[in-house]
Every structure is written in C-alpha cells, then in structure tokens.
A and B are shown apart, each in its own frame.
Chain A
Amino acid sequence: MAKLPTPQMLVASRPAFPEQDWLDIKPEFAPGSFCYPAKKETMELLHMPNPHDWDPAAEDWNLPENWEKILCDAFAERLEKHRSLKLFMDICVRCGACADKCHFFLGTNDPKNMPVLRAELLRSLYRRDYTMLGKLLGKKVGARSWDKDVVKELFYYAYQCTECRRCSLFCPYGIDTAEITAIVRELMHEVGLGTHWIMDPVKNCSFTGNHLGIQPHSFVEIVEMLADDCETVTGIRPKTPFNEKGHEILFITPSGDVFADPGIYTFMGYLLLFHELDLDYTFSTYASEGGNFGSFTSFNMAKKLNAKMYAEAERLGAKWILGGECGHMWRVINQYMDTYNGPSPSHMITPKSPITGTVFKNAASTKMVHIAEFTADLIHHNKIKLDPSRNDHIVTTFHDSCNPARAMGLLDEPRYVLKHVCNNFVEMPENTIREQTFCCGAGSGLNTEEIMELRMRAGMPRGNALRYVQQKFGVNHMACVCAIDRATLPPLADYWAPGVTVSGLHELVGNALVMKGEAKRTMDLRQEDLPNVVDDEPEGEE
C-alpha cells in the first residue's frame, strides 16, 4: 500500500474544479483510484455474463464485441423493471442540494462525485435514447452517446459511491443515488466488469455459506475458540449450538464477526448474552452469513445469497430469526428480504422474545429481529444485570451506519443499549449522526486495501467529526452496529483521530454483562486489563 499523505496534506490536495466541461473529461485510472477487477474464473463459476480478463489501468478492457447493444438493452430492461430509475432519470432539477452531502465529494472535490453529476453520467445516456430533445440536440442539452470511455467512467464512479443514501435524504424529490449506482453496477456486470473484493466474497458466500469462505468445520472451530476466550475472561464457557433442529431462534450475523478483529469481540458478546439468557437458539454453518455482497452486485445476486436464511430456518424448524449487527445486511432484510424470498416459511411465527414476552409486531412478516431491538427490550424489562462501570475506561461515541439509519431507522435502540452499558457517551456533531450520518467511506464493497487513500478521503467527514469529539470531549472509543464498519473504522480512526478504538455494540454489552456464577472480571473481552479493579479482600493469608 502506498504511503498516505498527512490529513492536512490530504485536505489541501483536493484539486479545484477543472476548466473543461465534465462531458469532455475522461477518468484516469491511476493506481489507488480503482478496485482490482474480479477474476474470470470467479465470474464463470457464478455464471455472470461475459466473464473475461481485463485490467482497469489498461487502455482496452476487452469488452465483448457487441458491448454497446448489451448495455443499451440492459438499460432498457432496467427502465422497464424499475419505476425509480425512470423517475430519477426524468425529475432531477439539478438544484445542487445533494452536492456537499456526499462524503466522496467532500473528500475528493471531484465534480463527478457530486451525486447529481454521478447520476448525470447515466442520465446523459438516457437523454440520447429516451428524450426527444436529447435525440435532436445532443450535447447541447447534456445528451451523449455510449463509447468505451463512457463505460470506464461509469465503472469508475459507480465504485466511488458507497450507496449510503445521504444525498437522498436531502434531495427534494428523494432521488436515491444508491439506486442509480446499484443499477450502473448491474449494467457493468452485463459486460463482465466487476471487482475482486466484491465478487470473491459473493463466490464464497454462494458455495460455502459465508463471504470469507470459511468451511463448516473451520467455522465451528473458530467459534469454539471464541467460546474458549469467553471462558478465559468470565470463567463461563458459553454453549455454541450449530445446525441444530428444533430451536426457537436461528441466529445469523455477518461472518466478519467470526473472523476479524475487532468483530470477534462482538461475537463473544453475543455468545455470552445468549448463554446468560439460556436462549433457545442455534447458529447455522450453511446460513453463516448475514451480510450480502450480492447486494453490491445485482438485485438477483442479493436475492440468491439471501435465500439461504429462510431455507435454513425452514429446515431447522426455527420459529424466527435473530440478526446480528450489520449495516447492509439490514438494508437487505428490512427492505428486500421478504420481497425477494418471502413469504417466510409457514411454520414461522411473529417474533416474540422468550425472555420478556415482547412481540415484535414490526417484524410480523419478515420474522426477523435486530439484536439491538432484542437487547434494548431486555434492558427495558430489567432482564439482564449490567455493570456499566466495567466500560468506564472508555468515553464512547456512536457511529450510525448508513443502512440501519437511512433504510431502516434503527437509531435509538442501539443508543438505548449503549447508554446502559457505558457511563460515558458523547454524540458527534448533529449533522453527522442519526439519519444525517456519514459513511465510513468504504461501504458497499469498497473496503479494500488498494484504494486506501480514497477511503480516507471518503472517510474525511466521519473522521473529522470523530476528531472533534476526541479533542473536545476526550472520546477514545467509537461503537457501531456494522461489521464493515468494524473493519473500516479502525484504519479511519488511526488516520483521522489516532487513539480512538472501535467496537461493536455487543462487545460493550459483553463487558458489562454480569453473569450468574461468573468469575471476577479483571479483563475485558479483548483480554486487556480492566482499570480500577478493586482487589478482593485478602483471605487471611498464612
């Protein structure tokens, strides 16, 4: 990875707007500005159209011979399938309200990263084929024809958008750039263009059950190890039920939490909580992925990866599904799952907490509850004992992940939990949280190393807000409910606000949870010494 400039240099190096009209500028594929391409074998295995070898930095992308027809037909098909696309092509007035709402634009000052221009890249093609004036007047009214540079440009900017939907909140017509980006990515896939960082997890998830390609036996082994670590910290070894039939609840969380630091500590938090509740649940190695990189590929791929959840709930006879902390997973579950793969298996019931008796009517059809909703309900009914002072060494803030915030509205549940497990909680500035939250800069499959500088640029608004509360209120921790965040925020914090650590919500729950029969806690789940541990009275040493 190339060395990063300092934050000051990075901000200062944002270029001014170019002199030329945007229609006359071609993107430059400099190293670090693009994600590595998907491998041909991966695409073949997934039956993606037109798999081929190509290099984004090369002049020729080896597009299939009839690429223009493929793209025009695919675009026409999408227009027929999605009213949103027709509408968003037609009704933008270019008022510019979206421009400085985009983290990519703020960090790069590239005009084509203004959501309005990002959409114009496609809209200009739409005008040529679908509007009378565009047909007649062409470039004078912002219409243009397809050519290979246009394809490159679409690819370039479709992967400089994290589908965070912040712009759609501010748009007076609710034009959703995520929808446009998702469809442009679909179009690119029609001519065999995809990125390795997205398609490899998609392949893994298709054939092994999770993005990381962890095979069933290894999955079990890793979780057993995490259970061992739980025992080291608490003296209690939580149970780890796998693929067991007849349990009430199937628990599904992103596989990143089984594998990567610091997500594993969040996973340990789940294990401890479920053990303490004596919850009647099981994991599944088959449906071992909550996340869905298919949703960064195409609607159908998202459907395909998501289908395992209901299929496994049906096979195991689970009554309802509890979902772990993840961002785009919850976009899919909240807005797409039931449409894709519903109705849910007939034996499933409206989720009801076996501990508090609360019926989650808001999940009556999907039958899937967010762990933050579940835990907030437990705390509200006083069903778990918490010692927030175990988290006294941290002053935490909370990062709202884009998808739970703007595609679900999960804002106060995690805060409710956080405030009960931590004594020191500080909000970041108001225009950077809740529904106005800024992306980590690397969502929607952009969390790859080769574009680290770009990620830091896109993460600038989040990083600046974090730095602000760090400097002003001594914040040294950021909690979040997203597995991608847990992977992307640590480097962001190291860069923009060094000294701030990152964790999932349930890691802090795991720390604060007072369990029946537990040993005295001297360490947190990361096995770091807890400060302010009072030594027990010496027991009459002789």
Chain B
Amino acid sequence: MFASLILVLLMGAIAWVGASIGLASLFGVVLPYVAVVVFIAGLVWRMVYWAKSPVPFAIPTTGGQEASLDFIKQAKIDCPSTTWGVVKRMFLEVFFFRSLFRNTLAEVRENDPVNNGPRSIYYSSKWLWCFSLLFHYCFLLVFIRHFRFFMEPVPSCITFVETIDGIMQIGAPRFFMTGGILLVAVLFLLGRRIFNQRLRYLSLANDYFPLWLILGVVVSGICLRYFDKTEISQVKIFLMGLTHFSPVSPEHLNAIFIVHLTLVCVLLMYFPFSKLVHAPGVFFSPTRNLANNTRRVRHVNPWNPPKQFFTYPEYEDAYRDAMAEAGLPLEKQPEKAAE
C-alpha cells in the first residue's frame, strides 16, 4: 500500500521538478496528447478484446421471481424476461449500483440466546454503496465542471453545475462541494482497505495505486483552487491551445498545475490496463445484461460442439434382455436383435 503511495508521490515530484527545470512542455503538452491517445485506443482495444470472445450461454443471475404463471408476480427488474426489463436492470445497476445496495454485513455469534448456540446475523450495510456512489458522481461532476477550461463560450449547463456546486457560498473562491465530498469519499475507500482486516488481506498494489493517484489529483486540484491559486485565465488559454491543436507554452504556469495535469494523464493511461475498466466492463456482464428468458427463446452458442452421447439404440443393445424380462417396451425384441 505504501509502495504505490511512494510511486504516486514520485510521479508528482518528477512532474514538479520537470516543470521547474524547463520541461513543462514535455509534461504539459506531449504527455496529455499521448495520454488521451493511449486512453482512447486502450479502451477500444479492451472492449474489442472482450467482444472477440462470444457469450456461449445466457447466465443471468436472477434476483427475484421469474415470469411464469399469470397469478405469480414477476420481479420485472431483478429478474427481467424482456430486453426492456434488462435495460431497466442495467440502468439501476449503472446509475444506482443496485447490487451493491443489497450489501449486508454478516456477524457470526458463537453463542446466541435465541438460537441457544451459534447464530449468523446479517445487518444491512450501505456504507460502501453510499461512498462509492458519492465518489463516482462527484468525480463525474468535477469532470463536467472542468469543461469550462476547454470550451469558449462556457455552455450554460456547466455554469449551472458550478452554481449548484458552490451554492453554499463558503469562502472565496467559492467552495465546491463535489471536490470536498470526492476527497472524503476517496479517503473512505482508502481507509477501508487499510483498516478493514479482510480488505487489507485481499488488496493489491493494483488497488491502492489508483486510489492514491486519484487522491493526488484531487489534492493538487484543491490546492490549485484554494491555496496555491493558479491564474485561471492563463490555464484556460493553455488548455484551449491543447484542445485546438495549437499548444502554447506552459512554462509560466504554476508547477502544481503541471503535477495535477501529469497525474490526470497517468490516470488516463493506466485506466485501460487496470481494474478501472470495470466502468465499460459492467455493460458486458452476462449475469446482468441478459434476460432470464432462456426457456422461451433459444440462446445460440457459436461454438456449440456436435452432440455425442450414449444413444437409445446403444442403451437398448446393452440392456435388451433385462428390459424384455422387466416387460419394458423395446424397439427391437431380443430374438430380432439376435439376427
């Protein structure tokens, strides 16, 4: 967990030093272009890689009552039998993390008075759901807010998001709630990996690294807005240059800005080659994106092997006499088969 923290710090430091010794163009111009190309190409490659393997079987996990008899109420969202139902199920999954909402916490008691012995109890546990939802939505809003740097004039919807985000009117520049909540949510997600024994045991560097990285992005971003305030108009000119493929020199920009930009670029490049591909991946998940209608509609397996099995004639050949004796109907009577 610390190795990946050090790695992130090192990346930040390199960007800082690079900016100070006159390599700001490398980190500010070359790297962002490379990162965006790697991100897009990587994601496309990843999705094509998945799509190249077929879905041989329809294996939805049914989370409720199937569609069967008229008088039995189907759970149309958790056990969809139509494409429209699947769309609703996926919508709730993607936008509201429905499966995670089910989360429980199991406690095993050795001696419980009701059971007069061991008893397992399952408590509702929504913390992970709550913070991951906050994390993802705040990240999205922060991302959307950043479009004011890339667009001129700034679309009114982005101004609106900013107004809402800063509606508490704390401080100057105004405090954006999403940034604060994002920071808290990242710290929660990190904290549970560090302090929950089970999570610590199963966590890999691959789990800490993106969290530290995002923490680095968030902290450097907050610094740029509230503390080591950067010249917003300069940043905008610089970023507009990038988006219009006529980059201007970033030499005069704040070093923390270069750190912030570099960490974002690392995140973009890391994305397609890491667990972060869960974002597009969830759409591909065969336990969620298929209808439970496999008795009504045949699902075709493109590599379905030919049928090979012990056929009835072989079976009758093996047991004919015994079957005749037991009075079972036969295709060929023993005397006929003997011929």
Write the residues of chain A forming the contact surface with B, with a CB cutoff of 8 angstroms. 7-8, 10-12, 14, 17, 22, 79-87, 90-97, 99-101, 106, 111, 114, 116-117, 120, 131-133, 140-142, 165, 168-176, 179, 206-209, 215-217, 220-221, 242-245, 285-286, 299-300, 303-305, 307-308, 311-312, 315, 333-336, 338-343, 358, 360-366, 368, 373, 376-377, 380, 405-413, 416, 429, 431-432, 434-436, 460-461, 464-465, 467-468, 471-472
Contact = CB atoms under 8 A, between A and B. Distances in A.
B111 A87 contact: no
Given A84-B287, A173-B285, 17 more contacts: A17-B198, A80-B53, A87-B286, A100-B105, A133-B273, A140-B3, A141-B204, A174-B286, A176-B61, A217-B326, A303-B305, A304-B307, A335-B57, A335-B58, A340-B304, A380-B69, A405-B62
A131 B42 CA distance: 12
Interface in B47-67: 49-67
A499 to B, nearest CB: 12
A411 B287 CA distance: 18
A406 B62 contact: yes
A216 B319 contact: yes
A216 B115 contact: no
Given A217-B326, A380-B71, A406-B61, A17 B282 contact: no
B299 interface: yes
B108 interface: yes
Contacts of B57: 299, 335-336, 339
Chain A interface secondary structure, helix, strand, loop or mixed? Answer: helix
Given A116-B202, A300-B305, A8 B118 contact: yes
Nearest to B61: A168
B281 A411 contact: no
14 contacts: A11-B118, A84-B287, A91-B281, A91-B282, A170-B99, A170-B104, A175-B285, A244-B329, A308-B310, A335-B58, A338-B295, A338-B298, A376-B72, A435-B63
B251 interface: no
Report, nearest first, the 3 A-B pairs whose CB atoms are least far apart. Answer: A409-B66, A91-B281, A174-B287
B307 A341 contact: yes
B318 A429 contact: no
Interface stretch (B74-82, B144-152, B212-220): B74-82
A173 B294 contact: no
Given A339-B56, A340-B304, A363-B296, A83 B69 contact: no
Contacts of B122: 429, 431-432
B295 A368 contact: yes
A129 B10 CA distance: 28
Interface string B298-339: 111101110111111001101100110111110000000000
Chain B interface secondary structure, helix, strand, loop or mixed? Answer: loop
Contacts of A408: 62, 66, 292
Contacts of B308: 304
Nearest to A464: B120
B308 to A, nearest CB: 6
A94 B198 contact: no
